[in-house]
């Protein structure tokens, strides 16, 4: 037998579903008042309802087969274009929409914004083959809760859906360092750290940087450790990409020629 809290929660959901009493002022809000999926699972009421949207039938079949192996996830409908997505969201009120970025029927970022406005209780998890941090940032900014790469969907998609249904976010693990390259503002670094970073990007060793800046090697090592820590970047290659995208090489060339 379930816990008293779980039983009470189940009864509450049951009453809400059987006896909806929307008022004119609250009709729009109640239309999308989907109970939190984790609370529903706790109460034993229902799994997380998922709408799958991809323009390729074989991809939808593969994702459905994957999600069908998880008892707490239920695919309630499939869609092959944006218009069908909108219809199914209205009809099924899914907890989570799994949305491919290349759906026909209109710009996907505009569709995400529209869906988040019209159906705020339905979270959106984007699936794609694009490991592009710029697009990931744009999708999250448009209102998506998750960004999953299709080549790792078997590992990441179920967890992304669960997090999204609970109001959390999920970014493909491999994209996190790449997002830092775009999101970390250069003003986190001091003027001297920017100089050091630019020279690192030009391929100089710590000894060479120390000579160019008339500093000790130990001081350069400290600056370099601070740069890694502040930007959240682990490797020299990541530092180089960050410096290139932030236009720091010109500054570095000026420091070298000074």
Sign of CA dihedral 171, 175, 180, 181: negative
Give me the pLDDT at residue 122, please: 96
**pLDDT surpassing 50 at residue 60:** yes
Give me the pLDDT at residue 27, please: 39
Give me the pLDDT at residue 30, please: 37
CATH 3.40.50.2300, applies to 47-179? yes
Give me the pLDDT at residue 26, please: 38
Give me the pLDDT at residue 184, please: 54
- Computed over every residue of the chain, the mean pLDDT equals 79
Check residues 95 and 254 and name the one with the higher pLDDT. 95
**What is the average pLDDT across 225-249?**
78
> For 165-183, how does the pLDDT look when each residue is reduced to its tens digit (9 = 90+)?
988 888 888 776 666 555 5
Domains of the chain, residue spans: 47-179, 184-257
Q: Write the CATH number of the domain with boundaries 184-257.
A: 1.10.10.10
Name the burial class of residue 156, with classes exposed (0-12), middle (13-18) and buried (19+) by CB atoms within 10 angstroms of its CB: buried
pTM: 0.58
> For 24-49, how does the pLDDT look when each residue is reduced to its tens digit (9 = 90+)?
433 333 334 444 445 554 556 579 99
> For 87-119, how does the pLDDT look when each residue is reduced to its tens digit (9 = 90+)?
999 999 999 999 999 888 878 899 999 999 999
Name the burial class of residue 249, with classes exposed (0-12), middle (13-18) and buried (19+) by CB atoms within 10 angstroms of its CB: middle
Give me the pLDDT at residue 4, please: 42
**What is the average pLDDT across 229-254?**
71
> For 114-169, how does the pLDDT look when each residue is reduced to its tens digit (9 = 90+)?
999 999 999 999 999 888 777 887 888 889 999 999 999 999 999 999 999 988 88
Q: Is there a contact between 106 and 100 (Cβ–Cβ < 8 Å)? A: no
**pLDDT surpassing 50 at residue 3:** no
Give me the pLDDT at residue 176, please: 65
Tell how strand 123-128 and strand 146-149 pair up.
parallel
Q: 184-257: same fold as 47-179?
A: no
């Amino acid at each position: 037998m379930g816990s008293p809290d779980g039983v009470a929660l189940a009864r509450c959901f049951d009453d809400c579903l059987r006896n909806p009493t929307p008022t004119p002022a609250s009709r729009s809000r109640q239309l999308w008042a989907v109970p939190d999926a984790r609370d529903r699972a706790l109460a034993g009421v229902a799994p997380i309802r998922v709408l799958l949207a991809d323009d390729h039938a074989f991809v939808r079949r593969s994702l459905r087969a994957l999600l069908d192996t998880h008892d707490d996830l239920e695919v309630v409908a499939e869609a092959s274009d944006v218009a069908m997505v909108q219809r199914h969201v209205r009809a099924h009120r899914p907890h989570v929409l799994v949305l491919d970025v290349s759906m026909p029927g209109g710009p996907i970022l505009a569709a995400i914004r529209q869906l988040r406005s019209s159906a705020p209780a339905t979270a959106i998890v984007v699936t794609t083959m694009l490991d592009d941090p710029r697009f990931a940032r744009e999708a999250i900014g448009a209102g998506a809760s998750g960004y999953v790469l299709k080549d790792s969907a078997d590992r990441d998609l179920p967890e992304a859906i669960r997090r999204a249904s609970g109001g959390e976010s999920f970014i493909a693990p491999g994209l996190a360092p790449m997002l830092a390259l775009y999101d970390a503002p250069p003003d986190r670094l001091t003027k001297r750290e920017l100089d050091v970073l630019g020279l690192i990007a030009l391929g100089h060793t710590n000894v060479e940087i120390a000579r160019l800046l008339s500093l000790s090697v130990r001081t350069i090592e400290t600056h370099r450790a601070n740069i890694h820590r502040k930007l959240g970047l682990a490797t020299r290659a990541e530092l180089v990409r960050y410096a290139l995208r932030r236009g720091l090489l010109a500054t570095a060339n000026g420091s070298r020629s000074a």
